[in-house]
Structure 1
């Protein structure tokens, strides 16, 4: 049986408490447990890159991690992955800070990782590479003679050609991506955007709809919307509330709760969300004193100026809105810039009347699916969801909104707060069925099965394909 080798920027160390792992970790661990294999990635530590790999084996899985030098981490991770690719892929070209040295560092680290992984790869291994940090990783492995099946999954959106092709190294990145055998995307829009970007750089030959050849390289594309573990989330959400939360719920009485939790990131549309809540208070004064909006947004990448600016903006807006609309005994908006235990958040989801998830752009957004899974089916809350989140392609029974239109979001919030029970149950039931069907296990099994179905490359067959596609080069 083929062994599975997973490569991601960071690895999740072995831990029996599966609930402590995020969605990506849960999916990867499920795939690794089924096939046995290796999880390879950065340790999260700055140190000597020449040090031996740190290896931990538990049951049929080995975790292998490495250190990065301060310079390589800065250029590969901070300056290119997060200051070029992340903003561009989330349609924020205005925040892209491209530096040639950072691009060189990004390529250098991908080559370094290929050097470190190569000795660990066995002939029949199947490789699964994750996310935007490792776009050229398959290309580096191919240069080293690795012809195993290699799949790639992009967790974030793939931008339209007008955005992607504005990146100076766009052509190099596109050609490198064609060295993967299978490219997986969250949505059909992302898959099509990749192919359209590719077609602007070279001829793309397509057989059927998902098999392609570009630059003499054969590859497949497919859509694999990532899921969650709905049964586990339902268990976490059910049961009695912790004493402090129970006391708070009693104190609130009939006050309806609008709840939202996001990482503090400019892609999440938090300032726009605050303004939409203000529009709700302005347009629907009947809700004054009877609703409360809680926004949890823990800091991420706090050393980056753009994130510092968002935090300051949110603090200012929260104070202004509360000052304008608040009353003695009623504070309409609570903004908490701190982390909370995930199990606790699931219980909060269950007791929230409205889940507000309105990113400006998101690959999937698992918070939306977690909110659905956490609800009481007999008395569920209402999900207000951005049309620009990947989850909107599946959760069509949510109230879908344009996050740039504050009145649209305000109207949806009013509708959610006043929605009859029968409609809430019907909408929730439809979404829960989708969340249960397309869960995290279905995601990883479908991708791995498709990848194993790919014919492995060989140096000879690759040359033959190149000659057949471009005979004048022979």
Structure 2
């Protein structure tokens, strides 16, 4: 029976060891709350680090923790050492990903050692959950610590439903491109069926990076990737609305909370609640409050800022310096504006219970939350929910993810102290009827879209994404021994292998001339040709001169220019049809005009065709100009026997009679082949697939609709399969040699 596996860096249960005693405490965080109803079911398990270093545990401790967490909490502990925590979490996660994704490029570090640790720990997470994964399981992975895990799972378990949610911002392409390991991270994430973000800004940034770095387009936020599709959507995370909105007494409040409530009788209170982090804009917030007191002196001795800062990464120099800076700014404001009976800023550097925080919320006139960058910011939603009298007002920065949902709040620029000061005044002066009107709309929204709704919606979308993806073509299984195609290969005595070149045998390069065959490819082709039972055919849209130069010394057939030219091994080139170039001048003029207008585009002049490449263009501009160019070409070629062929980031104009199906037909007439194999990756190869007989092994490389019978993910998988063919040929030669020697021995 299928189950749900949640995976996050931390478990919803924290384990602490005091001498020989092991203590377990449940988390009250938003994620644990949101997934609680699912996790309490019997068919779920949550995998993650339990919060205690494996260096502090003996073997018996780890066995005890494992047993207790599995049996009592439905959790699978993944133990990390001090070195792993330091290198993977404190290192790559907090020194590279966290600052970069929050736009603090000046402090992001790029360390190959911490990157290697990040890969190792992601692998460790996979190895830990591997034994419990079963076909058709649903796996929901959370946050930036595990961005490589989706692809690891996909590689071994293609039938699982994999979801990933990022709880921090995804930066714009201009920021993300600074990351050294940018492609690896994207490929890791694209192992998921569904990728979720807090806002559509983050969705847009992610899709832009995928397009620019991996060359993958999207259609309605769906990416056709390898052999499956990936849906990308926004799911703004909610809170446990009922918990914060319910009435509560004062019996369990701390002395600070009681003193705070008492003080509200004499002043208006502004509250700020954050953990200590440079992304939160805390120094800027204090400076803005100072400007508020300077600009609006009538509020002195009538308003107070309550700055609650939860300790974070204590002992880390940068965070200790931030705390010192905050303390200095608070002292300066209090020293400049304070009186014997009034201190303008109260600074609490400590954590408070949920009950205390709700009391602070309910007795504060304004919540001031102005992060420089924040993935969501649930404090803003907690404050709104707690003010069930609809009398509080929220002032928040536009760079918090929640700002896109909470438009009725007073939205400000986190870097504009004057705007924040004006926003505070607006919130304090707002008439009750306006506050109530705004808050009622906010309450309706966050009460409906609470944290349970968020979890339900994501899992339902993941289910629908998986169900809507129907793979019409079987994958060639290159992991089994032997696969169906290998069995047929071994039986074949007259085999023909039609091999497309670009995108099939080699990966795509920025310019066509950079896709020269490497030594591995030349070795593969040479060994395939060495088997007398094989007829190897390179079938490509490239010019004959290029292919002659690159592969002409090998003992293979070459069909070039989309079937126009055919060359036998070491033979002369022969045209398969009669064509002319009378049309080229008029078309070239149009291509040159668009090339001049589109930076990064280029024209490739082939013997009997012209190709316009836009791989190096800005994606949006390239697509726009491609569409314009296609319309312009249609208008001038409609009276000619020309066709416009759209390939991978290229438009090619050629005679419509020239196609790979025509070229393959010429070869198939030469012999009665008993094993027919054809591979290609784009629209130009569909004519080849159509021409091949039904019992042929036609393979599409990558995603997209196709006439091929099978599918593989990339050119690397094609090379892997061709190497298997070579191994089978060697085995066949070896067996024949042994049989011959045995016969001679008789």
Q: How many aligned positions are there?
A: 470
Equivalences for residues 353-368 of structure 1 within 5 A: 353-368=365-380
What is the deviation of 1:69? 1.6
State how far apart, in whole Å, the 1-side matches of 2:299 and 2:69 are: 56
Aligned 8 A contact 1:175 1:215 in 2: no
| Residue 185 of structure 2 corresponds to residue 173 of structure 1 | yes
SS at match of 2:364: coil
**TM superposition shift of 1:98:** 1.4
User: The residue matched to 1:92 in structure 2 has which SS?
Assistant: coil
Measured in 2, the distance between the counterparts of 1:468 and 1:439 equals 36
Mean CA deviation greater in 305-314 or 280-289 = 305-314
Relative to the length of structure 2, the TM-score reads: 0.60
* Cα displacement (A) at 1:66: 2.2
CA deviations on 1:406-454 (whole Å, 9 max, x unpaired) are 0000001011111111011111111111111110011000001111223
The higher relative CO (CA closer than 8 Å, separation ≥ 6) is in 1
1:43 aligns with 50
CA offset at residue 246 of structure 1?
A: 4.2
Deviations 1:235-275 (A, max 9, x none): 2x544474844454334423000001101111111000000
Specify which of 89, 103, 111 is matched with residue 91 of structure 1: 103
1:163 partner SS? helix
1:299/1:11 CA distance change after superposition, 3 Å: same
Matched, 1:314 2:326: yes
Instruction: Provide the C-alpha distance between the structure 1 equivalents of 2:284 and 2:147, rounded to a whole number of angstroms.
Output: 31
Secondary structure of 1:115's counterpart equals: helix
Instruction: Assess if the C-alpha contact under 8 Å between 2:53 and 2:81 holds in 1.
Output: yes
- Give CA-to-partner distance per residue, 1:281-316, whole Å, 9 cap, x none: 000000000111000001111232221121010000
Aligned residue for 1:447, secondary structure, equals helix
| 2:447 aligned residue (430, 436, 441) | 436
437, 444, 466: which one aligns with 1:455: 466
Q: CA deviation at 1:35?
A: 7.0
Q: Is the 8 A contact 2:99 2:105 kept in 1?
A: yes
Q: Secondary structure at the match of 1:110?
A: helix
1:188 aligns with 2:195: no
Question: Matches of 1:341 and 1:243 in 2, distance apart?
Answer: 8
- 1:24 Cα offset (Å): 0.9
Within 1, Cα distance between the matches of 2:703 and 2:242? 50
d(CA) in 2 for partners of 1:337, 1:91: 26
> What TM-score does the superposition give when structure 1 sets the normalisation length?
0.93
Matched-pair contact (CA < 8 Å) for 1:37–1:60: no
Instruction: Give the CA deviation at 1:280.
Output: 0.4
Pairwise CA distance, 1:30: 2.3
Match of 1:219 among 225, 230, 246: 230
Judging changes above 3 Å, is the alpha-carbon distance between structure 1 residues 222 and 461 closer, same or farther for their aligned structure 2 residues? farther
The structural deviation recorded for 1:33 is 3.1
Who is 1:202 aligned against?
214
Question: Contact between 1:8 and 1:129, CA under 8 Å: does it hold in 2?
Answer: yes
Q: Which moves more between the two structures, 461-470 or 97-106?
A: 461-470
Which whole-Å deviations, capped at 9, do the CAs of 1:58-91 have from their partners, x for residues lacking one? Answer: 8996111121122222111111011100011101
Q: Does 1:233 align with 2:244?
A: yes
Shift of 1:56: 3.8
Separation in 2, partners of 1:243, 1:126: 43
Are the equivalent residues in 1 in contact too, given 2:207–2:218 (CA < 8 A)?
Answer: no
**Is 2:379 the counterpart of 1:372?**
no
Q: What is the CA–CA distance in structure 2 between the aligned matches of 1:72 and 1:270, rounded to whole Å?
A: 31
- For the aligned residue pairs, the C-alpha RMSD in angstroms reads 2.6
- The separation in 2 between residues aligned to 1:288 and 1:300, in whole angstroms, is 32
TM-superposition CA deviations, 1:2-40 (whole Å, max 9, x none): 31100000001299x999611011112223235731000
Q: Which residue does 1:32 correspond to in 2?
A: 39
Show the counterpart of 2:353: 341
Residue 205 of structure 1: CA displacement?
Answer: 3.5
From 82, 86, 90, the counterpart of 1:78 = 90
Is residue 2:113 matched to residue 1:101? yes
Q: Is the 8 A contact 2:393 2:409 kept in 1?
A: yes
CA distance in 1, matches of 2:172, 2:38: 31
* Residue aligning to 1:3: 3
Distance 1:98 1:303 in 2: 22
Aligned positions of 1:15-164 closer than 5 A: 21-33=28-40, 36-47=43-54, 54-56=66-68, 62-145=74-157, 147-164=159-176
Residues 174-216 of structure 1 deviation map (CA, whole Å, 9 limit, x = unaligned): 1111111110000000011001011111222323x02212455
**Bigger CA drift: 118-127 or 326-335?**
118-127
Matched residue, 1:330: 342
The answer as to whether partners of 1:211 and 1:219 remain within 8 angstroms in 2 is yes
C-alpha displacement of 1:395: 0.6
- Aligned equivalents of 2:315, 2:456: Cα separation in 1: 38
Distance 1:320 1:226, change over 3 A: same
| Residue 280 of structure 1: aligned partner | 292
Alignment partner of 1:386 is 2:397: yes
User: Counterpart of 1:433 in 2: which secondary structure?
Assistant: helix
